[in-house]
Structure 1
C-alpha cells in the first residue's frame, strides 16, 4: 500500500475519512420489462459516488479545500475518480491498494426506474487506514467520517482529532454502520455533529436504550413526546458531553436539528422541505447537506443557519440528474 501524499500541500481546515465508489446504473428502455437470461436494449451510465467522496466533492465545490483520505484500487477507475476530485479543489491522500479494484456499485433498474438487482464490490474500503497523525497537526478544524472505515479506524482517527482540538462529524452511511458506531461508547462520545437519516437514528437509539424491553414507541408514549425526539435525546446523551447536534434528514418531510449543550435538555427544531423540487437524483442530497452545513460552520454560521444553507445544497443536488453532487454548489452563498 502507498499513500499519494504524506503532507497537505495547501491550507485546509477539513479532513474527510471515508469511502470512494464508482456507481454504474443500467436501465432498459422506459416502460420495458426486463427479460431475464438475455440482452435487453437500454442505457448505461457511470458516475462518482461514495459518502466520503461525495462530501469531499461538495466541500471542494464550496471552496473549502478538503482533504479526502480513502482507499482505491490500482486501476483506471480509481485514478480517474481521484483526478476528477482534484479538479474541483480536493487534496487526495487515498491509499492505493495493489491487486484490488476500486469500489464499484452496479445497479440494474426496471422499466419504471426502480431497483431490479444490484451488485456491490466494496472490499477495498476495508483497507481505509487511519490518516497519519501529522495530518491532524496542520491546523485542521473538522474531521468528517463516514461509516465505511472499520470502527477501530474511526476510533483511532477520532482520538488523534480530540488530541488536537478538532471537531468530529459523522455521516453514518447505513443502518448497520450506524449501529456499529452506537455500540462503541468511546467513539460516540467524541462526536459533536452527526447526520443520520431517520432509520439510522432509530437504529442508533435502539442500541443505546437502557430499557431494551421497550420499543421507542413505548418510550415516546411514556414520556409524552414524539418518538423522533426520544430517539434524538438518547443519542445526544452519549455524544460529546460538552455539546452535540444531530441533523436528521427525513426526505420530503424535511430536516430536524436536535441539539444539546452541556447538560441541558435536548431541543428539536424542524426545517420543512422546500416545495416544488423536481427530484432527478437523490444519491448525493444528504452528503451535499452535510458538506454545506460544515462549510457554513467554518464560515461562522450558527447551526440553524447551517441547516438552512445545507438544505439549499441538498436541493441543488436533488435537481441534478447525472451527478450525486451538483456543480452549482459553487454558486451557494456561505457568508
Structure 2
C-alpha cells in the first residue's frame, strides 16, 4: 500500500555538486578543498530535513529518465521520501546545482533547473489524475525554481486553495517569483534579508524591519532570516524575533532549507510560534556547524 505523505515538497530535485575549502576565498581563488555530489535542490533539501524530523514528505518535481535521474530517485527513496509523484521526462536531463564555498561563506553558485522549468505544469498532474486528493488541504512547501507563470497559477489555483502553503524563493535572484503569493495573500513566505528587500523594492537592516515591510506589502505571514543575526516571524499577531545560536560555520548550502523544514515541522507538531522559531534556528545552527548528517 502506498504511503500517505504528511507534506508535499514541490520544486527542484537535483544533484548538488559542492566544492568546499577551509580557506578564505574570493573571486579567482584557487584553493585546496573537497568536492562532493549529493542529492539537492530546495524541495529535496526541505524534504530530507522533514524526514529527519520524523515526517513523511512526497516530492513533486521533474527528474530525467537518465542514469543520473535513476540514481537520484534511489537516493530520494533511501532518505525516506516518496517519489511516486515525480514527473520523469524522456527528453529532459536531470538538473544540477554547482556551488563553491570558502571559510567566509558562499563564493558563487549556478543552478541549472532548466528541466524543471521546461516541465512546467506537468509536475502538477498528480492533482488531476487522482494520485493526490484535490483540492489538497495539507501542508505544501514550494520553491522559486518553478517558473513565475506556474507559481502565479498555483497562488490562485482551486487545487491548492485549502492548502497550508509555505513558499521560499530558492535564491535572491528568484525572490520576485514569490510576488504572486504576496499579491494573492496566500501562504507563509520564507526569505532572507536580501530577498525581503528585493520583494519590497527597498533595503532593510534587520529581520524585524523586513518582516514588517513584507506585511505592509501584503504578505499574510513572513519569516525572515539574516545569517547569524536575529530572525523574525511576522504576522497579524505581531512580530517574534530571536537570535540564532553562535556556531562555527562548516557549510552554507542547504542551511535555509533546513531552517524552513524545522520551522514547518515544529508547527505541524503543535509547537508555539516562539518555540517553532527557536527550534528552526537551533536546527539551522546544527546544520551549518556540520553536526547534522545529510
Normalising by structure 1, report the TM-score. 0.73
Alpha-carbon deviation of 1:319? 2.1
Q: 2:190 — aligned with what? A: 195
User: 1:290, CA displacement in angstroms?
Assistant: 0.7
CA contact (8 A) 1:55 1:290 kept: yes
Match of 1:253 among 229, 232, 235: 229
Task: State the SS of the aligned residue for 1:72.
Answer: strand
**Which segments of 5 or more consecutive residues in structure 2 lack a partner in the other structure?**
none
Matching residue of 2:61: 70
- Structure-2 separation of matches of 1:251 and 1:104: 25
Question: Which residue matches 2:144?
Answer: 147
Q: 2:89 pairs with 94, 97, 104, which one?
A: 97
Alignment of 1:259-298 (within 5 A): 259-261=235-237, 267-275=238-246, 277-298=247-268
Asked if 2 retains the 8 angstrom alpha-carbon contact of 1:18 and 1:128, the reply is no
> Matches of residues 185-224 of structure 1 in structure 2 within 5 Å?
188-206=183-201
Equivalent residues in 2 for 1:24-173 (5 A)? 24-26=17-19, 43-92=34-83, 93-107=85-99, 119-126=110-117, 127-129=119-121, 130-131=123-124, 132-133=126-127, 134=130, 135-137=132-134, 140-158=137-155, 159-163=157-161, 165-173=162-170
Q: Indicate the SS of the match to 1:143.
A: strand
**Partners of 1:216 and 1:227 within 8 A in 2:** no
How many residues get paired?
A: 286
Determine the C-alpha separation between the residues in 2 that align with 1:187 and 1:179.
Answer: 10
Give yes or no for contact 2:208–2:231 (8 Å, CA) kept in 1. Answer: no
Q: 1:144 Cα deviation (Å)? A: 1.0
**Alpha-carbon contact 1:143-1:161 (below 8 Å) kept:** no
- What's the offset of the Cα at 1:35? 9.8
Deviation at 1:280, TM superposition (A): 0.9
**What is the SS of the residue equivalent to 2:228?**
helix
Larger deviation: 83-92 or 125-134?
A: 125-134
Please give the alpha-carbon distance, in whole angstroms, between the structure 1 residues aligned to 2:24 and 2:213.
Answer: 45
Change in Cα spacing, 1:95 to 1:233, as seen in structure 2 (3 Å) is same
The answer (yes or no) to whether the contact 1:168–1:193 under 8 Å persists in 2 is yes
CA 1:124–1:194 in structure 2 vs 1: closer, same or farther (change >3 Å)? same
What do the CA deviations read for 1:55-80 (whole angstroms, capped 9, x no partner)? 01111121211111011122222222
User: Does the 8 A contact of 2:211 with 2:232 survive in 1?
Assistant: no
For structure 1, the 5+ residue unaligned runs are: 1-7, 207-214, 218-225, 262-266, 329-335
Output the aligned Cα RMSD: 3.4
Taking the aligned partners of 1:250 and 1:33, their CA distance within structure 2 comes to 21
